[in-house]
Chains A and B, each alone.
Chain A
Amino acid sequence: MLRVSKEPSDTTRTGPRSLHPRGGELIDATAERTSAPVVGDNRTEPERDDGGSMPTPPPVSVLPVASPQPMNGAPHDPRRSDVDEWGRSENMRSILRRVYDPVYRYWFRVEWEGLEKIPHHGGALLIANHAGAIPSDAPAIMHGIEEELGRPVYGLADYFFRTIPVVGTMWSRTGGVPAHPDNAYRLLHDQQQLALVFPEGTKATSKTYTDRYRLRRFGRGGFVEIAMRAGVPVIPIAVVGAEESMPILFRIGGLAKALKLPYFPVTANALLMGPIGYVTYFPVKIKLRVLDPVTFDIEPGLERYSRSRVMDEAETIRAKMQDSLHDMLRERRSIWFG
């Protein structure tokens, strides 16, 4: 098995890089700064790219103020920010990548295995096991893929994030998308992007330390159905380390209800460090193993898929991930050093 190691010593960085939200190619950040601040055409939706084949209707009566609109082709789009239709901003993302990179390299010392299985082009649904009171796996996966493959990853997550002021906006600007089936389909099928989803949902992040590395139920298998409909592969990623980065000792149900949170965890970090513990992870070693992509030999684009087939596929993927986790844990000699 090929290993893509991400040790600080063997990686030479060429300088600040950033990615185009659509193009998926690496460009130099300085070059981007010198280019025009507003680039309109990579944001127009594909279905709106009307080639001008239809006859343009004659102008309607226009009141005094004249408009500068061109009569043919796509209308002029005077955007000022680079926030795309999902709320993701490549500028924000690249700032975050710069800030997060030391955490990724020196704190978690993230190590990938099988990263080459994630395609450079085309849509794919990435799924992973989820852990930690405030999960440390999602940023690590998104950061790693964006840095290595130079293409954006959209993280599908609970609507709950959207309701929190500031956090919701930051989450959206840095690639978070509400996990609605329509959103997933549009990302995967229409735009051929990479989307990351945690099928266990909050059932995984709220579990206590005693249940670590035991995969929860994979929802209702919705992720399989979406991948089938969009005609893209599911690529499972097994994560080891995130469980120990912020383990939950117990939960306070009443407090969660009072604060309208999905759960209120008391973490080992918080017991050791106090309130700071809620924003500080233990320096565990995170290892990520990309499993073989799962493709479904089934016609895409259907309204509905056989429930039993969907549940079977989901269960197969879950079993594979569970095996993989056990395998990785057998190889692991230390929580801190891998």
Chain B
Amino acid sequence: MTCCASAAVSGSADQMGRRVLITGLDTFWGGRMAQALESEPDVEMILGLGANEPRVPLERTEFVRSDQKYSILSRIVRATQVDTIVHTFLETNSVNIPSRLLHEINVIGTLNLLAAAGSAGSSVRQVVVKSSTHVYGSAETDPAWFREDTQRTSPVRTRLERSLIEVESLVRDFTEDNPHLVVSVLRFANVLGTDIITPVSFNLRRRLLPCIAGFDPLVQFVEEDDVVRALEYVTGQQIPGVFNVAGAGKLPWSEVASIGGAFLLPLPPFRPRAFVAPLRQAGAVQFPPEMEGLMRYGRGVDTSRLVGAGFQYRYTSAGAVESFARANNLRRSTGSGEPEYRYEQDVEQFFRHSPAVVRGIDG
């Protein structure tokens, strides 16, 4: 991230670096994004909202506990004069989330967020939204590659898709109403990587990847580091617009199992989710409804727009699967290996604000 000092902020904040607010600090992406931004010298202040404590160690990010609908958000925005909002807290995986909560988090949360960002006299200059390629759906009538402006060809069938589409339409209206703001929407393909747990990685970790018998669709993945880098890139470069983000190329579902080191579990083509329901209930496999179309017809998104804007991927689709597989091999040998971090309010406050702490020293 080279630039972004210029035009980053406006008004009274001319002398300051960027002031960034991240939603969902307690989630995987919020935590990752905060960590990434902490190493940016021109990001002056990072503020994270979350319903729970952060789960990753953070150096200078301030944490504010908030409910999932961000009812206090406009007060926070006014008080902290943030100029950038990175909205990472959108659920893009419907496993274990009740329908009502999904709607509250995605739609109502975004609604409040945008209301706060667009209120009169708001200091916000950029909004970055982390969406998903689930908005395109997956059907036999799909083109092999969706561009950002390609319409989905099938009716909306799952609640996750419905809520994400509603979120994007809110964002679209917000963009129209606030033409002076930089609004970026990133649609990420299914993510795999060293740490993230998604339905696909959950199943691969258990060495059993469900598939629909007779179908071997072509799918895309994006590596978790590329997700964070893409968010960071768009935030730093202040690029407005909608962007697909996915690793180059597609690979058949069977190859995902083969690279990921798992066996395929063929399910009957007729109502495969009902068939696997006992296993789902037992927590042995994850198979959310939005995966069914994907496992039949796959999905491809054209990423030339973001590449054209200068973003460079480190992983292809197959590379993302391999990245997962390598991390998984390590885990199998050494156990989970992830250091258990617990957020201690007093300790964190001490390190951030006590005059006793000498800041600017690495250690």
Task: Report the Cα distance A64→B335, complex, angstroms.
Answer: 14
The interface residues of chain A lying within 8 Å CB-to-CB of B38 are: 61
Query: Could you say which of B69-77, B129-137, B207-215 contacts chain A?
Result: B207-215
A47 at the interface (CB under 8 A from B): yes
Q: A61, B39: Cβ atoms under 8 Å? A: yes
Task: Report the Cα distance A168→B295, complex, angstroms.
Answer: 13
Q: A63, B214: Cβ atoms under 8 Å? A: no
Q: B297, A47: Cβ atoms under 8 Å? A: no
Q: A45, B248: Cβ atoms under 8 Å? A: yes
Query: Could you say which of B85-93, B165-173, B300-308 contacts chain A?
Result: B300-308
User: How many positions in chain A have a CB within 8 Å of any CB in the partner chain?
Assistant: 52
Q: B255, A54: Cβ atoms under 8 Å? A: no
Instruction: Identify B36's interface contact among A61, A68, A85, A165, CB under 8 A.
Output: A61
Q: What's the dominant secondary structure at chain A's contact region?
A: loop
Q: B144, A178: Cβ atoms under 8 Å? A: yes
B318 at the interface (CB under 8 A from A): yes
A87 at the interface (CB under 8 A from B): yes
Q: A178, B140: Cβ atoms under 8 Å? A: yes
Q: B195, A63: Cβ atoms under 8 Å? A: yes
Distance (whole angstroms) from the CB of B82 to the closest CB of chain A: 21
Q: A169, B214: Cβ atoms under 8 Å? A: yes
A308 at the interface (CB under 8 A from B): no
Task: Report the Cα distance A163→B338, complex, angstroms.
Answer: 43
Closest to A56 in B: B312
Task: Report the Cα distance A68→B234, complex, angstroms.
Answer: 25
Q: A43, B39: Cβ atoms under 8 Å? A: no
The interface residues of chain B lying within 8 Å CB-to-CB of A163 are: 140
Q: A65, B255: Cβ atoms under 8 Å? A: no
Given A57-B233, A60-B232, verify A81-B252 contact (CB < 8 Å): yes
A159 at the interface (CB under 8 A from B): yes
Task: Report the Cα distance A23→B338, complex, angstroms.
Answer: 46
Given A69-B319, A86-B144, verify A50-B194 contact (CB < 8 Å): no
Q: A77, B249: Cβ atoms under 8 Å? A: yes
Closest to A158 in B: B140
Given A44-B248, A67-B225, A186-B144, verify A165-B215 contact (CB < 8 Å): yes
B314 at the interface (CB under 8 A from A): yes
The interface residues of chain A lying within 8 Å CB-to-CB of B252 are: 81, 83, 87
Instruction: Identify B144's interface contact among A50, A85, A164, CB under 8 A.
Output: A85
Interface residues of B in 314-329 (CB under 8 A from A): 314-316, 318-319, 321-323, 326-327
The interface residues of chain A lying within 8 Å CB-to-CB of B322 are: 78
Q: A76, B140: Cβ atoms under 8 Å? A: no
Instruction: Identify B255's interface contact among A56, A80, A177, CB under 8 A.
Output: A80
Given A165-B269, A169-B216, verify A63-B194 contact (CB < 8 Å): yes
B348 at the interface (CB under 8 A from A): no
Interface residues of A in 67-92 (CB under 8 A from B): 67-69, 71, 74-81, 83, 85-87
Instruction: Give per-residue flags for A45-61: 1 if the beta carbon is below 8 A from chain B beta carbons, else 0.
Output: 10110101011111011
The interface residues of chain B lying within 8 Å CB-to-CB of A168 are: 214-215
Given A60-B232, A80-B258, verify A182-B143 contact (CB < 8 Å): yes
Task: Report the Cα distance A277→B322, complex, angstroms.
Answer: 47
Q: B330, A54: Cβ atoms under 8 Å? A: no
B281 at the interface (CB under 8 A from A): no
Residue pairs across A and B with Cβ atoms less than 8 A apart, 28 shown, are: A44-B249, A48-B303, A48-B307, A57-B312, A60-B229, A61-B36, A63-B195, A64-B337, A65-B195, A65-B327, A67-B314, A67-B323, A67-B326, A68-B326, A75-B319, A76-B316, A80-B258, A81-B252, A83-B218, A85-B144, A85-B250, A85-B300, A164-B214, A180-B143, A180-B144, A182-B144, A182-B145, A182-B147
Question: Ordered nearest first, which 6 A-B pairs have the shortest CB separation?
Answer: A165-B214, A182-B143, A47-B304, A166-B214, A162-B140, A65-B194
